[in-house]
Chains A and B, each alone.
Chain A
C-alpha cells in the first residue's frame, strides 16, 4: 500500500473542491479583507497615528492576513469533512486501507492549502494599500504554515463532532471570531492595562498574530520562541485528539 498516493489523492480532492467553488471560497475573503483595508486602514487608520512605531495600516496588515489564514484553514476542513460525513462519501476512505494519519494529514493539508492561498491573495491585495516590508521571511513562512495547520486540525475536530451544518458554524462564530478580534490583529496588547494583557496572553491567536507581525515588521508583544512553542503544543494536542477520534470512529462508525 502506497500511503503517498493515498495522501496525494486526499490532497487533490480537497484542493479540487475549494478551487471548483472558488467564488465561495477564494473571492469572499479577498473582498472582506479589502474592505478592512479601506475602512480601518485608509479611512480610520490615518487618524489613529502610529502603533508600535509603524503606520496603523502597516501594523494591521499582518494581522489581517493571519485572520484570513485562520478563518479559511478552519472553515475549509470543517465544511469539507462534515460534507463528506453528511453525504457519506467519507466512507470511501474508511473502507480503503488508508491509515488514519493519512486521512488527518490529507484534510489538514487541504485546509492549509486554502489558508495559505487566501493569505497570498490577501497579501497581494494589501500591496495596493501599503508597501509590504519583510523582516524575516522564514518566520513568516513558518508561522503561516503552522498556524494554518492548528486551525485546520481544529476544523477537523469540529467536523468530527458536528451533527448538523449549524454545528460547524458555532465555533467560528462564538469562539474563533472573538479570539481573533481580541488577538492583537487591530492593536498592540501593550496598549491594554496590565490585567488585560495577562488575559490576552491566554489567547493563542495573540502568539500567532505577533509572530507573523514580527516576520514583517520585526516587532512583537510576545517572545517569538514562546509563540512557536505555543503553536507547537497546539498542533501536538489537536493532532492527538483528531487521531484518537478517527481511530475510535467517533461520529464516523456506528
Chain B
C-alpha cells in the first residue's frame, strides 16, 4: 500500500499569534477511509486548509502521493478533491455550470465534464435540479452538490470537512453509501466529522487532534479495543422492590429505566440472570452512548488534563 498523504512537523501560527497546529505528523495510506476527529478549534480545518493550499503553513512538510506541495503544488493539487465545511459555490450559478467550470479548472474538457456532471448529479439525486441556481437547493442538496463538484476531476484523494453537518439521517445514510462505494473504487477518503458514529461506521483508521496536536493515531479496531467499559440502558417493567446487582454498577434512572455499566470481561447474561431472579422484566435494551464518543471524550479530557 503506498502513501496518499504524508504530513510531518506541520505548524501553523495565525496572525495575532494563535498557534493552530503545533507540529503534527500524519500518514494516510492509499485506499484508506481515514477519520480526522477533534473538538471545535482543534486544528482539523486548518490541517485540511494547508493540504489544499487554502491556508499558508508556518512550517512542516506536506506530500500528496509523494509530491511535496512546496515543490510542485499544482501536481499535488491535481490529486485532491475537497468538500469544505462551508458552502462555497456561487449561489447564483446553475448547478451544471458550477460542475463544468470546476472540471475546467482541472483541465477536463467540456464534453467529458458534461458526462461526469450527469453521472454524479444522477448518483447524488440532483439531476432534476441541474438548471437551478445553487441558492435554490436545500442544505442536504448543497452538501451533495459540493461532493459532486469535488469529484469532477476524479481525484485520487477526497477530503470531506464535516460533509453531513446539518443533514437529516436519511440523506446522511445515502451519502455514507455513496462514499463507501467511492472508497471501494479506490478513492482515498479523509473525513472530519462531529458525528462520531459516522467515523466509527465508515473509517478504518483514525487520528484525534486536540489543541493543534495529534493525541491518538491508530486503526479504528485498536482504538475501540481501548474502551474497557460500556453502558447499557434497559427499559424495564416498573417494580416495587429495589434492584440490586452483585458486582455490577447500576443506576435506576426512573421506574422504567435502569442503567448498567459493564466491563469488557462482564457478561450481559449475568445482568439478565440477576434481574430475572429479582423478577424484573426487561422490555428492551440499547447502548447508552456511541462507543467512539466515550473514547473521544476520554482522550480529549486526558490530553487537556496533561497540559
Q: Is B82 an interface residue (CB 8 A)?
A: yes
Q: List 5 contacting pairs A-B, 8 Å CB cutoff, sorted by A.
A: A1-B78, A5-B108, A9-B103, A12-B104, A89-B90
**What are the residues of chain A within 8 A of B272 when measuring CB–CB?**
none
Contacts of A84 in B (CB 8 A): 90
Residues of B within 8 A of A13 (CB): 93, 97, 101
Choose from A20, A97, A253 the contact partner of B77 (Cβ within 8 Å): A97
Taking CB atoms, residues of chain A closer than 8 Å to B53 are 94-95, 253
Asked whether, in the complex, the Cβ of A254 is within 8 Å of the Cβ of B75, the reply is no
B149's nearest neighbour on chain A, judged by CB, is A92
CB distance from A69 to the nearest CB of B (A): 25
A93 within 8 A of partner (CB): yes
Q: Is A249 an interface residue (CB 8 A)?
A: yes
- B101 near A3: Cβ-Cβ < 8 Å: no
A195 to B105, CA, bound (A): 51
A253/B97 in contact, CB under 8 A: no
**Contact between chains at B91 and A87 (CB < 8 Å):** yes
Q: Across the interface, which residues of A come within 8 angstroms of B107, CB to CB? A: 1-3, 5-6, 97
Is A8 part of the contact surface with B, judged by Cβ < 8 Å?
yes
Determine the main DSSP class of A at the interface with B. helix
Alpha-carbon separation in the docked complex, A3 to B105 (Å): 8
A92 with B88, Cβ < 8 A, contacts A2-B107, A97-B75 known: yes
CB distance from B143 to the nearest CB of A (A): 15
Q: Which 10 residue pairs of A and B lie closest in terms of their CB atoms, listed nearest first?
A: A9-B104, A2-B107, A96-B105, A97-B74, A88-B88, A97-B77, A89-B90, A1-B107, A97-B78, A95-B52
Q: Is A171 an interface residue (CB 8 A)?
A: no
Is the C-beta of B250 less than 8 angstroms from some C-beta in chain A?
A: no
Which residues in window 224-279 of B have CB below 8 A to A?
Answer: none
Of residues 49 through 101 on chain B, the ones whose CB sits less than 8 Å from some CB of chain A are 49, 52-56, 73-75, 77-78, 80, 82, 84, 86, 88-93, 97, 100-101
Contact B102 A94 (CB under 8 A): no
- Shortest CB-to-CB span from A9 to chain B, Å, is 3
**In the complex, what residues of A have CB within 8 A of residue B73's CB?**
97
Residues of B within 8 A of A87 (CB): 88-91
Which residues of B have CB within 8 Å of A6? 104-107
Q: Are B89 and A89 in contact (CB under 8 A)?
A: yes
Q: Are B89 and A92 in contact (CB under 8 A)?
A: yes
Assess the B104–A1 pair: CB atoms within 8 A. Answer: no
Known: A13-B97, A20-B92. A96 touches B56 (CB 8 A): no
Q: Which residues of A contact B90 (CB under 8 A)?
A: 83-84, 87, 89
**B109 within 8 Å of A (CB atoms):** yes
Q: Which residues of A contact B82 (CB under 8 A)?
A: 91, 95
| Distance A128 CA – B109 CA, assembled complex (angstroms) | 43
Q: How far is the CA of A8 from the CA of B61 in the complex (A)?
A: 33
Shortest distance from the beta carbon of B96 to any chain A beta carbon, whole Å? 11
> Quick one: which of A2, A10, A254 contacts B55, CB cutoff 8 A?
A254
Shortest Cβ distance from A17 into chain B, in angstroms?
Answer: 8
